[in-house]
Amino acid sequence: MLNLTGKTIYLRALEPNDLEFLYFLENTTDLWEISGTTTPYSKYILEQYLENAHRDIYDVKQLRLCICAVEDDKPIGFIDLFDFDPKNHRAGVGLVILKNEERNKGIGTESVSLVCDYVFNVLGLRQLFANVLEDNLASVSLFEKLGFEKVGLKRDWVFSKGSYKNEILYQKLNR
């Protein structure tokens, strides 16, 4: 049986009452570098997104799950599956944890581990990939610790705050 619950967090589908958290997170400009966002999101647009969040991953080729604390059920961040490709048995994975004080506490490790279990054992995927900015040392450490292998480097891939940054391509195969 699939269990999307870890020691300190659990993953769940998006709910309509996630609007305020989603609005705040999507409009936090410090996070735009990793999300590729360039303009603010309105509540109206995010409400429409939440209304369609129930759609099947096979239909929309992506899935966003809310990372919540087991202790108090509060949302902490999101973990996304994107570029879902059932023909080639792969998907991308990315995550964001909103508050600095929640980072580097194992939440990312638990979240990615739970998603790996889900995609490999439920969706039957062969591989997951992650795109990580080279200077995002916490994410580099996270994905390497979980057995993702560095398979490529995209030079000058992201333009941010007046300079170009390299992005590392990580891959994890379900052997």
Superfamily of domain covering 9-125: Gcn5-related N-acetyltransferase (GNAT) (3.40.630.30)
Neighbours of 19 (CB within 10 A): 15
In the predicted structure, residue 37 carries a pLDDT above the cut 90? no
pTM of the predicted model as reported, rounded to 2 decimal places = 0.92
Which percentage of the chain shows pLDDT scores above 90?
Answer: 82
CA atoms within 13 A on the CB side of 142: 24
Closest CA to 146 of 118, 108, 175: 108
- Name the packing angle between helices 137-145 and 107-121 (round to 10°): 50
pLDDT at 175: 83
Predicted pLDDT of residue 123: 96
Q: Which residue has the higher pLDDT, 55 or 151?
A: 151
For the chain, the structural domain boundaries read 9-125
